[in-house]
Structure 1
């Protein structure tokens, strides 16, 4: 599959990109401009306050949408993908504002899906292996197993069936977008990609890791090291969403029981790591507790400050 020669039919298919902004700096704008020079690029800006593409320094090639507020990652992705669907695109590659895709990602991932389409294979999404040098280098692909994750080293020249891909760098097959449905707006952020992949697989679609495509991507803030192992750290609000959505997804039938069994073990460990090691421990603990309670109650959407 690696380096596969695309047919005339594949060449005629159109790929677009969706980039989600939130308080972007100049480097984020430059990355979006580089993507726009290669693909049609939709930028959805969740930064509070309305601005313009010209004020940010975005290329005229970019289709820019300013939400004026943070409506969440899921909603922003949906807005971008729907614009590509309306314009007749076949594939949508998703990016965070700090993701730097290699050139082959923009061609190899659509080629993998186009090949599947030609043979009637129901592939919903394909994604690269990612490399976060702050953590453990190239991350393995993942399959859910009872009480643990099966970690698959990304090697070889064939796509690998997996259970989950992070959204940034992944290529959605728009042929099946309406069948799977949009990202879940109510989750706002965290586990949005996992829920979508789980839903796609629940409906009989495949999720493919493409091992020969690698993308640099940083997970979370500056990691903390505990017993020689690095864990990505987030701010207290992100920890609220992480714990809330984990509990909320544990109640859904479309999410596999194998993942739920793993989370049952990992959640207490996360509480210890995220609440005992940051400097503002009390704030982290408070937001984790609120997340757990809201997840159990089914209170989703954007976090609202308590009185």
Structure 2
């Protein structure tokens, strides 16, 4: 049995309904976790689903965990995680679950698999410049991490790997779980022939010919803080630590000088760096007032 976990936050209803229409019938269970202040109904496009509403916004990690625990109680074998900015093909769940099942017979310890990501902003397939491929086997390529949306998890691995790290709240949650699994000798894979459309970031900007992602100011707090928190952990890849720490001053400059809301962005980044250095985690409003 396969269950889907869709996390939404102030969703674009047209986009979310389009995703649910594609998802309908692909899984036996659908859990919608809503971190928005006001509740939403999706009955227009999907009849049977479990709806969990957290108006105080518990973050992506806690939302995933609520869904994963629910699916484990229902006896599901696999869970597919999705967010509102993705659009999946109508056979994605079948294809990913088939590859996970096949990997079991080949005695490969693959605990999570994701599709190739096609970014709707750049209209290009997302490729990491530094992430090395761990293994290459027919339909699968082993990788160090995959993003949460489109990630299918073998739920039997939760006992060993554990749930998502709620202390991170949002940014880096998906990667941290993958790295933790890999530090235990387990594998993460990407399907070569399965592609998903996904929007990365809120918008794009260019500086001296280089395009970079622009997110909401509050996200900068979590991004900067979580880089500093994760950089202390031994199982986090060295290349990731070096790259993120190297680009931190550049991102600080771009987001405080080249964007609108300069002061607001700078405040969030400085607070993120401060809390990261102090080792503070959890939700922003635990430590600061908006």
TM-score (norm 1): 0.86
Would you say the 8 A contact 1:156–1:211 is kept in 2?
Answer: no
**What is the rounded CA distance, in whole Å, between the counterparts of 2:272 and 2:221 in structure 1?**
4
Give deviations 1:119-163, integer Å, cap 9, x for gaps. 3321111111111142361011x4xxxxx71466xx995311111
Would you say the 8 A contact 1:100–1:216 is kept in 2?
Answer: yes
Which residue number in structure 1 is paired with residue 207 of structure 2?
A: 226
Would you say the 8 A contact 1:90–1:174 is kept in 2?
Answer: yes
**Which of 257, 260, 264 is the matching residue for 2:245?**
264
Indicate whether 1:187 and 2:174 are aligned.
no
Which residue number in structure 1 is paired with residue 112 of structure 2?
A: 125
Distance change (3 Å), C-alpha of 1:218 and 1:25: closer
SS in 1 for 2:214: coil
SS in 1 for 2:58: coil
**What is the rounded CA distance, in whole Å, between the counterparts of 2:48 and 2:92 in structure 1?**
20
Which residue number in structure 2 is paired with residue 96 of structure 1?
A: 83
Give deviations 1:34-82, integer Å, cap 9, x for gaps. 413321211111111456665xx46221111112221000110111111
SS in 2 for 1:195: helix
Which residue number in structure 2 is paired with residue 214 of structure 1?
A: 195
**What is the rounded CA distance, in whole Å, between the counterparts of 2:212 and 2:132 in structure 1?**
17
SS in 2 for 1:168: coil
State how 1:77-96 maps to structure 2 within 5 Å: 77-96=64-83
Would you say the 8 A contact 2:146–2:174 is kept in 1?
Answer: yes
**What is the rounded CA distance, in whole Å, between the counterparts of 2:139 and 2:152 in structure 1?**
16
**What is the rounded CA distance, in whole Å, between the counterparts of 1:246 and 1:75 in structure 2?**
19
Which residue number in structure 1 is paired with residue 52 of structure 2?
A: 65
Would you say the 8 A contact 1:124–1:205 is kept in 2?
Answer: yes
What's the CA shift for 1:15?
1.6
Would you say the 8 A contact 1:128–1:213 is kept in 2?
Answer: yes
Q: How large is the RMSD of aligned CA atoms in angstroms?
A: 2.1
Would you say the 8 A contact 1:275–1:282 is kept in 2?
Answer: yes
Which residue number in structure 2 is paired with residue 246 of structure 1?
A: 227
SS in 1 for 2:284: coil
Would you say the 8 A contact 1:37–1:61 is kept in 2?
Answer: no
**What is the rounded CA distance, in whole Å, between the counterparts of 1:199 and 1:230 in structure 2?**
30
TM-score (norm 2): 0.91
What's the CA shift for 1:261?
1.9
**What is the rounded CA distance, in whole Å, between the counterparts of 1:137 and 1:53 in structure 2?**
30
**Which of 136, 141, 157 is the matching residue for 1:160?**
141
What's the CA shift for 1:198?
0.7
What's the CA shift for 1:181?
0.6
Which residue number in structure 2 is paired with residue 110 of structure 1?
A: 97
Which 5+ residue runs of structure 2 have no aligned equivalent? none
**Which of 11, 18, 23 is the matching residue for 1:35?**
23
Which 5+ residue runs of structure 1 have no aligned equivalent? 1-13, 143-147
**What is the rounded CA distance, in whole Å, between the counterparts of 2:18 and 2:139 in structure 1?**
33
What's the CA shift for 1:25?
3.1
